[in-house]
Amino acid sequence: MDELLKWRGEFPILDRSTYLISNSLGAMPRGVYDEMRAYADSWAERGVRAWEEGWWEMAVGVGDKIAPLIGARAGEISLHQNVTLIQAVIASCFDFRGPRNKIVMTDLEFPSIQYFYHEQRRLGARVELVASGDPVRLNLEKFLAAIDESTLLVPISLVLFRSSHIVDAQAIIDRAHRVGAHVILDVFQAAGTALAKDKDEAENPEDSILSYNLGGIRMNEAAFRKLEQEISLVPLAVKLPASAASDKGEYRLSSGTVPVDRDIFRKIVVRESRMPRINVEDFSVLGWTDRTYYEVCTDPAIYAALEKKKAAKA
Ligand SMILES: Cc1ncc(COP(=O)(O)O)c(C=O)c1O
Per-residue pLDDT reduced to its tens digit, 73-116: 889 999 999 999 999 999 999 999 999 999 999 999 999 999 99
Residue spans of beta strands (DSSP E) within 172-228? 182-186, 217-219
Question: What pLDDT does residue 131 have?
Answer: 97
- Determine the average pLDDT of the residues in 148-176: 95
Q: Could you tell me the distance, in angstroms and rounded to a whole number, from the CA of residue 196 to the centre of ligand 1? A: 20
Pocket of ligand 1 (CB under 6 A): 23-24, 82-84, 110, 112, 157, 161, 186, 188-189
Query: Backbone phi, then psi, for 178, in 5-degree steps?
Result: -65, -30
Residue nearest to atom 16 of ligand 1 (CA): 161
202 pLDDT exceeds 60?
no
What's the pLDDT score for residue 69? 83
Contacts for 233-239 with beta carbons within 8 Å, 24 or more apart?
Answer: 233/270, 236/269, 236/306, 237/309, 238/269, 238/302, 238/305, 238/306, 238/309, 239/305
**Taking residues 50-72, what's their average pLDDT?**
91
Compute the distance from residue 262 Cα to the ligand 1 centre, in Å. 52
What is the per-residue pLDDT for 233? 86
Distance in angstroms between the alpha carbons of the first and the last residue of the chain: 74
Q: Residue 181 pLDDT more than 70?
A: yes
| Every domain of the chain and the residues it spans | 3-70, 83-196, 217-313
Q: Which atom of ligand 1 is nearest to the CA of 112?
A: 10
Q: What percent of the chain has pLDDT over 90?
A: 52
The whole-number pLDDT of residue 201 equals: 44
Report pLDDT digits (tens) over 217-272.
778 777 888 888 888 888 887 766 555 444 455 678 888 888 877 788 888 888 88
pLDDT of 147 strictly over 50 = yes
Q: State the average pLDDT over residues 209-224.
A: 69
Residues contacting 100, CB < 8 A, separation 6+: 149, 150, 151, 152, 180, 181
pLDDT at 308: 80
Going by pLDDT thresholds of 50, 70 and 90, the confidence category of residue 200 is: very low
Check residue 72 and give its pLDDT. Answer: 84
Average pLDDT of the chain is 86
Q: What angle do CA 29, 31, 33 make, to 5 degrees?
A: 105
- 190 Cα: distance to centroid of ligand 1 (angstroms): 11
Q: What is the pLDDT of residue 207?
A: 62
Using alpha carbons, select from 184, 24, 25 the residue that is nearest to residue 89.
184
| pLDDT value of position 198 | 43
Cα 133–Cα 139–Cα 144 angle in degrees, nearest 5: 135
What is d(CA 168, CA 125) in angstroms, rounded to the nearest whole number?
25
pLDDT band for 174, please (50, 70, 90 cuts): very high
1-29: per-residue pLDDT in tens?
788 889 999 999 999 999 988 777 889 99
Name which of 107, 175, 170 is nearest 136 in CA terms: 107
Second CATH level (architecture) for the domain 83-196: 3-Layer(aba) Sandwich (3.40)
Cα(157) to centroid of ligand 1, in Å?
A: 9
